[in-house]
A and B are shown apart, each in its own frame.
Chain A
Amino acid sequence: MKPPPFKYLAPDSLEQALELMAQYGGEAKPLAGGQSLIPAMNFRVAQPAVLVDLNRITGLEYIKTAEDGSLAMGAMTRQRDLEFDPQVAERVPLLHECMPHVAHPQIRNRGTLGGSLAHADPAAELPVVAVAASARIRAQGSRGERWIEAEQFFQGMFTTALEPGELLVEVVFPPAEPGIGWSFLEVSRRRGDYAMLGIAASLSLNAQGVCSAARLVFMNAGDGPIEARQAAAGLSGQQPGPEAFEQAAAAAQQEIDPLGNVHATVAYQRHLATVLTRRALAIAAERARGNGNLPAAGAA
């Protein structure tokens, strides 16, 4: 189908875009990569009266390493650029690892980081990674800017903390701490399809090689990025290994709240959560050993 008529505005500065967003209020929607918004308009599920196209704005598409080692990325950074950027691979390997799973190459060529986060699809990779890696999101409105922790940003199915008229402008990932390992895994019918279930995990080991902290954040396991906090907390103080990971996996699959869909029943999603948690923790532990001052032990 085709979109219904709308007014199209293509400002070339962020200031202008914010003015237009304020002027048109709830009638206006920003257009980023269009890879979720245009299909919704073609289906007429979304019928904005005004589109404010962000694609002509220069200065929202960048990837920069700050002095403290954190990585700052503009909202309009294309997913394809994240996929191949060496700074991303080095600084936020979790993000690097998830990128090939975000839709197909043709879609990543247009789709943006900010668009995916603002869209807040519970089955999307980027929101889950943003939460697992403690990213901070900078939002700007006509009344100024504010920072929002990724954990607070996602407020349910396709719902974020952004106020009407506010734009997501930047995402900052903190530097990885020594002794931390990560893993991103998902199961989908085909590469690039939305996953039946996925996990972004991190695991920290202390100088004795004992688990000191963990995060387990799930995709398509509820109404947004779903964090299994109790399962992760249970890992603290444990020896990393099959026994501890098995326990964490069993706890995590109970803590999530998958909804089931045409490709996967709730029971199957819970099964996937068990298997992926176990595998992700084993990989994360191995990487944690390689990332600290610890000897790389054989059995994980």
Chain B
Amino acid sequence: MENHQLSLVVNGQPAEGQVEPRLLLSDFLRHELGLTGTHVGCEHGVCGACTVQFDGQPVRSCLMLAVQANGHEVLTVEGLADSREQLHPLQQAFWEAHGLQCGFCTPGFLMTLVPFLAENPDPSEREIREAISGNLCRCTGYQNIVTAVRLAADRLRAI
């Protein structure tokens, strides 16, 4: 099958590629661009580990073809913090509140929750649990993730 030319913006930088149509966006990010922070758990949309922001909205990168990103903007966990030295306030909160153990699920949670907090700066526990209903974590039991989100929400509102 013929390859397609792809040009998009990833984490604020232009990116190019020659891709087979069947290449998933998740694999393009990981294998072609080396952005391995986007994790792949299930490849059928259930686990949420591969969540990235597509034109500012969280989506499953395993349920999109890389060609579909042509002309669009993608943000991965690597692009979340302003600099390499500083964590994003939500990352910081996950760290402090023990919102992660093995960390496999964490990029997906972060990429889901940053837009959520922008829309809903003061969420209730119930709203947080609904917002993360599409992300699986096999380690934490979710409790500390919810705590981390509350902590980040409080700090982000104060900025």
Contacts and interface: CB of A to CB of B under 8 A. Distances in A.
Interface of A: 1-8, 10, 34-35, 38-39, 41-43, 51, 53, 55, 80, 100, 103-107, 109-110, 190-193
A105 B57 CA distance: 9
Q: Indicate the member of A2, A41, A51, A105 with the most B CB atoms within 10 Å.
A: A105
Given A42-B43, A51-B21, A109 B1 contact: no
A42 B61 CA distance: 13
23 contacts: A2-B22, A7-B1, A7-B21, A8-B4, A10-B67, A10-B68, A38-B64, A53-B68, A55-B68, A103-B134, A104-B133, A105-B116, A106-B51, A106-B58, A107-B45, A107-B134, A109-B57, A109-B59, A110-B60, A190-B133, A191-B129, A191-B133, A192-B133
A192 B131 CA distance: 10
Interface in B40-77: 43-45, 48, 51, 54, 57-60, 62-65, 67-68
Given A42-B62, A55-B68, A110-B63, 20 more contacts: A2-B24, A6-B21, A6-B22, A8-B4, A34-B65, A38-B63, A39-B63, A42-B44, A103-B134, A104-B133, A106-B51, A106-B58, A106-B60, A106-B112, A109-B58, A110-B54, A110-B59, A191-B129, A191-B130, A192-B133
Give the 6 A-B residue pairs with the shortest CB-CB distance, closest first.
A104-B134, A8-B21, A39-B44, A191-B133, A109-B57, A38-B63
B44 A43 contact: yes
Contact of B20 (A5, A104, A190): A5
The prevalent SS among residues of A at the interface is loop
Contacts of A8: 1, 4, 21, 65, 67
Contacts of B63: 34-35, 38-39, 107, 110
Contact of B1 (A5, A10, A34): A5
The prevalent SS among residues of B at the interface is mixed
A125 B47 CA distance: 21
A3 B133 contact: no
Contact of A105 (B1, B20, B58, B67): B58
Interface string B129-140: 111011000000
A66 to B, nearest CB: 29
Contact of B131 (A53, A105, A193): A105
A265 B126 CA distance: 28
Contacts of A51: 21
